[in-house]
Structure 1
Amino acid sequence: MSDDTSAGGTAEFEEHRDRVRRTMPPALYLPVSSAEGGEFHEVELRAMNDGRLALLAYTALDRLADAQGPHQPWMLYPTDRLEDLEQSQPYDVILLDLEIPEALWRRADGTQPQPDPESAS
Structure 2
Amino acid sequence: MTPADLPPVVYVPCFADDDGQVTAVQLRTTADGRTALLAYSALDRLKAGAGDVPWVLLTIEDLQRVHDREPYDVLYMDLRIPEHARAAVTR
The question of whether the paired residues in 1 share the 8 Å contact of 2:37 and 2:75 is answered with: yes
Rg (Cα) greater in structure: 1
Q: From the two aligned structures, give the one with the greater helix fraction.
A: 1
- 1:73 equivalent to 2:17? Answer no
Contact 1:26 1:80 in 2 (8 A): no
Greater per-residue strand proportion? 2
What is the match of residue 61 of structure 1? 43
Q: TM-score normalized by structure 2? A: 0.87
Distance 1:40 1:60 in 2: 19
Higher relative contact order (CA 8 A, sep 6+): 2
Q: TM-score under structure 1 normalisation?
A: 0.67
**Aligned mates of 1:26, 1:45 — CA distance in 2:** 21
SS at the partner of 1:62? helix
User: Does the CA-based 8 Å contact 1:30-1:57 persist in structure 2?
Assistant: yes
Partner residue of 2:82? 101
Tell me how many residue pairs correspond in the alignment: 89
Question: Which residue matches 1:31?
Answer: 13
Two-structure CA RMSD over aligned residues (Å): 1.6
Give 1:67 deviation, angstroms: 0.6
Give, in whole Å, the separation in 1 of the partners of 2:79 and 2:22.
24
**What runs of 5+ residues in structure 1 fail to find an aligned partner?**
1-16, 106-112, 116-121
Amino acid of the structure 1 residue aligned with 2:76: L
For structure 2, the residue ranges without an aligned partner over 5 or more in a row are none
